[in-house]
Amino acid sequence: MEYRIGTQKFKKPVPLKGPKDAIELVKGLGQAEIEVMTVLHVTPDLKAIEAETVGLGSMMSVAVESRSIFRSAVLSDQERCLIEVHNHAFQRKAEPSIEDREHMSLLRSAGLLLGIPVLDSIILGTKEHFSSLEQGFVYPKCDAYPGGTKLAFAKAHKFPSAKPEIITPGDLGPISAPKMAVPHLEFLRKMKFEATAVIRLTPDLEPTAIEVFRSSFEDNQREETRDILRRVIASPSTKYIILANNHRCFPGRMYSVDALSQHLYQLRFGGISLCTPVIDMLEIEPKGYYSWTEHGQVFNRSKFYSFAEAESIKVKGPSKTNRPDIPPYAWIIR
């Protein structure tokens, strides 16, 4: 059977009570000769509406960016939860590898951050299967999926904050150090309200866009984290992000270092889990700037961003692949 990247919609929603119902929808995957990553999209009342193939690999492994798993759900106007399924084509057994277990754990955590619950991670062998839910790995041990109010959906699948202003970066070359990002952020000093800026970067650290929106950090740290991560997922070309704010331009409104650290660590964890690392937080001052990378807070201490390939600092995540045929950061699942 030939597998392709894409989505197959079911003729009518299929009720799912537990892992066995989900496996029935993709049972042919256990016979595939290559490893395939498939995501089942499920409504809050536990009805599968489509199966999306997000990764095709070899007999030995499949490489996939975690954000590819969530992208369709992020862009949807409907609330969705997900069930991740992949097969083991070589050994034909469903025993999870070390990479499988790391990926399953971070995927569930990323889903909670995004407000898109991952109900289960399933591995298919020829005659057997492994369900994280059934085995009690990452999820509470159970043979049925929780539904309705027990799921932690985002308030809305449309982005919760007002549409940000998009600024086109100047032609200043790659941003390979904190000081090279500052010329792109001069506008933050002139703003009369507290703002958050997100600089999107290519794998070569070339800036492609800067999103600017009124900061909601003081009111709801989690919502701002969710909003930033969901917007990054919606941008396929973004490989790294730099965060910036102008909090230091407002005397008496400085946030505590502990609160900012917690907020940034959450963003850092989410970015790594979704294969889009956050590589710095810049706080713009009236006449200068403060880089969390330069000062070794949350990030490794460095004056340059060339360390981005070692992004799994303090958070276990996918390693840099250094291969032209797959994304620079991807889970290689065996």
Q: Length of the chain, please?
A: 334
**Separation of alpha carbons 329 and 209, rounded Å:** 20
Q: Which pLDDT value is given to residue 226? A: 85
**CB contact set of 216 (below 8 Å; sequence gap of 6+):** 161, 223, 224, 227
Sign of the C-alpha dihedral computed for residues 202, 208, 299 and 264 taken in this order? negative
Report angle CA 99, 101, 102 to the nearest 5 degrees: 65
CA distances from 5 to 28, 55, 90, 249, 320 (A): 16, 7, 21, 47, 23
* CA neighbours closer than 13 Å in the CB half-sphere of residue 111: 26
Beta 240-245 vs 278-284: how paired, if at all?
Answer: parallel
* CA neighbours closer than 13 Å in the CB half-sphere of residue 323: 10
**CB contact set of 241 (below 8 Å; sequence gap of 6+):** 198, 199, 200, 201, 228, 232, 271, 276, 277, 278, 279
**Separation of alpha carbons 81 and 109, rounded Å:** 13
Q: Is there a contact between 197 and 185 (Cβ–Cβ < 8 Å)?
A: yes
User: Is the CATH number 2.40.400.10 carried by domain 165-317?
Assistant: no
CATH topology agreement for domains 6-150 and 165-317: yes
The total of other beta-carbon atoms located within 10 Å of residue 232's CB is 23
Beta 207-214 vs 240-245: how paired, if at all?
Answer: unpaired
**CB contact set of 1 (below 8 Å; sequence gap of 6+):** 28, 31, 32
SS3 (DSSP) at 316: coil
Counting as low any pLDDT under 70, the low residues of the chain are 1-2, 148-149, 155-162, 216-220, 252-256, 307-334
**Separation of alpha carbons 134 and 144, rounded Å:** 8
Residue ranges per structural domain of the chain? 6-150, 165-317
Tell me how far the alpha carbon of residue 298 is from its chain's centroid: 18
Q: Which pLDDT value is given to residue 310? A: 46
Closest CA to 328 of 36, 57, 65: 65
Q: Which pLDDT value is given to residue 155? A: 61
CATH class, domain 6-150, is alpha beta
Q: Which pLDDT value is given to residue 62? A: 87
The pTM of the full predicted model, rounded to 2 decimals, is: 0.85
Q: Which pLDDT value is given to residue 187? A: 92
* pLDDT, tens digit, 9 for 90 and up, residues 161-209: 567 888 888 777 889 999 999 999 999 999 888 888 999 998 888 999 9
